[in-house]
A = this chain, B = another copy of it.
Amino acid sequence: MSSSYGGYRPQSQYAPSAPQQPPYSSYYQTSTSNVPPPSNSSSNYSYSNVSSSGYPSFPPGTPQDVITSFQMVDRDRSGFIDERELQQALSSGFHRFNLRTIRLLMFLFKNPHQPLAVGPKEFAALWSCLGQWRGIFERYDKDRSGKIDPLELRDALYGIGYAVPGSVLQLLLSKYGDGSGRRVELCFDNFVECGMIIKGLTDKFKEKDTRYTGSATLSYDAFMTMVLPFLVSYD
């Protein structure tokens, strides 16, 4: 349900310049949405997992620079990388993400059979997702400051289909202040983290709000299971 919400389909199947219109009207989906939101998981990919050499293989069509970035850090050729290797691999294409963001990314993109390591499939999905977030960041950083301010964040989330109330954004942004009381501005790292949290939690909630009324009935277990993956990670 979640992965096709908002007209989104996996990266390899859609043209970013001409996405489908959402097939429904909804409480969440904003009317100006013209960009499918990045997917928070790798679950839409389907391909053979292991090459004839036994080394886990990348999805067909994975760009060479993505493969190279992975292989550069996978020094033992195990086919899996840990969190610090992921941090290093991503820094070649994006940003030196802080370990908190890295852990959130790993948790959201994890392979259920190898939850603490990232393989080629997860890495390719993650790289593609980050590429989409970077596109959004650059589009909404209108003053080219390299930072996203609260209004730009609201517009960016609105642009990908998430009409987040101001009070909710304010609560989220209060986590990123430096204590001075100044207006919070997000670098790409924190922007990705905020975006993943808002998108992830909202998508989970929407799965339970099947009639798009803006409210949902949750069991206690379902509530806790939805929320805990987004909480603080281990040290």
Residue numbers of A with Cβ under 8 A of B are 27-28, 82-83, 98, 100, 104, 115-116, 164-165, 167-168, 171-172, 174-179, 181, 193, 197, 201-202, 205, 209, 214-221, 223-225, 227-235
Tell me the bound Cα distance from A8 to B106 in angstroms. 39
A-B contact pairs, 21 of them (CB 8 A): A98-B235, A167-B225, A168-B228, A171-B224, A171-B229, A172-B231, A175-B228, A175-B232, A175-B234, A177-B234, A193-B232, A201-B223, A201-B227, A205-B223, A209-B220, A214-B219, A216-B218, A216-B223, A227-B227, A227-B230, A232-B233
> How many whole Å from A221's CB to the nearest CB in chain B?
5
Question: Are B228 and A179 within 8 A (Cβ)?
Answer: no
Residues in B with CB closer than 8 Å to A209 are 220
Residues in B with CB closer than 8 Å to A220 are 27-28, 202, 205, 209, 214-216
Residues in B with CB closer than 8 Å to A116 are 177, 179, 181
Residues in B with CB closer than 8 Å to A177 are 116, 234
> How many identical subunits does the complex contain?
2
Question: Are A172 and B232 within 8 A (Cβ)?
Answer: no
Looking at A176, A178, A231, the one whose CB has the most chain B CB atoms below 10 A away is A231
Question: Are A175 and B217 within 8 A (Cβ)?
Answer: no
Tell me the bound Cα distance from A233 to B234 in angstroms. 13
Question: Are B201 and A168 within 8 A (Cβ)?
Answer: no
Question: Are A217 and B215 within 8 A (Cβ)?
Answer: yes
CB contact under 8 A between A216 and B214, given known A193-B232, A230-B227, A232-B231 = no
Looking at A27, A82, A201, A220, the one whose CB has the most chain B CB atoms below 10 A away is A220
**Chain B minimum-CB-distance residue to A174:** B115
Tell me the bound Cα distance from A69 to B42 in angstroms. 49
Tell me the bound Cα distance from A217 to B223 in angstroms. 11
